[in-house]
Chain A
Amino acid sequence: MTVLFYILSAIMIVSALFVVFSKNPINSVIYLIVCFIAMAGHYILLNAQFLAVVHIIVYTGAIMVLFLFVIMLLNLNKAIIPQKSRITRISAVITGGIFFLVLLAATRQTFEIHAKNTFASDIGLVSNVGKTLFRDFLLPFEISSVLFISSMVGAVMFGKKEATT
Chain B
Amino acid sequence: MKEIASAIQLIPLWYYIMLSSALFSIGLMGVLFRRNIIVILMCIELMFNSVNLLLTAFSAYHSDPAGQVFVFFIMIVAAAEVAVGLSIVVMMKRNVESVDINLLHRLKW
Contacts and interface: CB of A to CB of B under 8 A. Distances in A.
A134 to B, nearest CB: 10
Contacts, number: 253
Given A39-B53, A158-B91, A159-B90, A20 B21 contact: no
Nearest to B77: A147
Given A50-B68, A147-B77, A151-B83, A114 B90 contact: no
A131 B65 CA distance: 9
B104 interface: no
Interface of B: 1, 3-15, 17-19, 21-30, 32-36, 38-39, 41-43, 45-46, 49, 52-53, 56-57, 59-66, 68-69, 71-73, 75-84, 86-91, 93-94, 98-100, 102
B50 to A, nearest CB: 9
A96 B26 contact: yes
B72 A155 contact: no
B26 A158 contact: no
B34 A99 contact: no
Interface string A11-29: 0110011011100010011
Given A58-B79, A155-B87, A76 B38 contact: yes
Nearest to A103: B21
Given A113-B14, A144-B76, A71 B38 contact: yes
Given A121-B1, A122-B1, 4 more contacts: A20-B33, A47-B5, A58-B79, A120-B63
B97 to A, nearest CB: 10
